[in-house]
Amino acid sequence: MITTQNKGTAMERINVRKSDPDLIEEVDSEEFLSGFSGCLACGTCSAGCPVRRATTSYDPLRVIRMLILGLREELLKGDMIWLCSDCYTCQENCPMGIKLTDIINHLKNLAVKEENVPIGVSTQEKLLKDQGKIYVIDEFDNKKRSKAGLPLLPTMAEQAKLLLEKRKQQPKGTERDSR
């Protein structure tokens, strides 16, 4: 029996009959992500993952095994991939050179294309578009900074807003991160 904690609740049974070989092919055909089927299931990624330490709802090894099994729906419709904090620890530690963080980011992009974005993430996106930053600096924060002898901070991040606007205007297909 294969189980997952995809929604952070009790262990759920995975139906491998739902396997979608297209997902495996789709990710594996991206040159910079390929080779994940060579995963040894050694657990090094899980051992170093800070999110894994904080919650049993998340495990990068589980993500890679689910991908190898082609569990598209569980990966792209669930919340699990969105718990990854993008710290790259797993990718740097993997003895097989598997680009785990890049793979998880790619899965997030696929989920966005399918309009499966958790509400918290879409709210953050809106805040970024509207004010150029996720956390608002208000007058109260600046008063505290002033008392502590720190310089005041602008409440809006106009430059970030402009950059986001510029990126939106780029022709489709040229906006991809070149990391």
89 binds ligand SF4, rule: CB under 6 A? yes
C-alpha distances out from residue 171 to 41, 128, 144, 166, 174, Å: 40, 21, 43, 10, 6
Is residue 80 within 8 A of residue 60, CB to CB? The reply is no
Q: Which residues contact 170 (CB under 8 A, 6 or more apart)?
A: none
Contact segment (CB under 6 A) with ligand SF4 among 26-34, 78-86, 147-155, 156-164 equals 78-86
Among 66, 90, 107, 111, binds ligand SF4 (CB under 6 A): 90
Instruction: Answer yes or no: are the C-beta atoms of 63 and 102 closer than 8 Å.
Output: no
Q: Is 39 in the site for ligand SF4 (CB under 6 A)?
A: yes
From 23-31, 87-95, 111-119, 120-128, give the range in contact with ligand SF4 by CB under 6 A: 87-95
**Burial class of residue 58, CB neighbours in 10 A (0-12, 13-18, 19+):** buried
Please report which helix (H) or strand (E) contains residue 3, including its range: strand 3-4
Number of shown-chain residues binding ligand SF4 (CB under 6 A): 28
- Distance of alpha carbon 56 from alpha carbon 65, whole angstroms: 16
Q: Which of residues 8, 35, 43, 120 is near ligand SF4 by CB under 6 A? A: 43
Give the residue with the Cβ less far from ligand SF4, 117 or 137. Answer: 117
Q: Is 57 in the site for ligand SF4 (CB under 6 A)?
A: no
Closest to ligand SF4 by CB, 37 or 123: 37
Return the residue of 11, 41, 136, 162 that touches ligand SF4, per CB under 6 A.
41
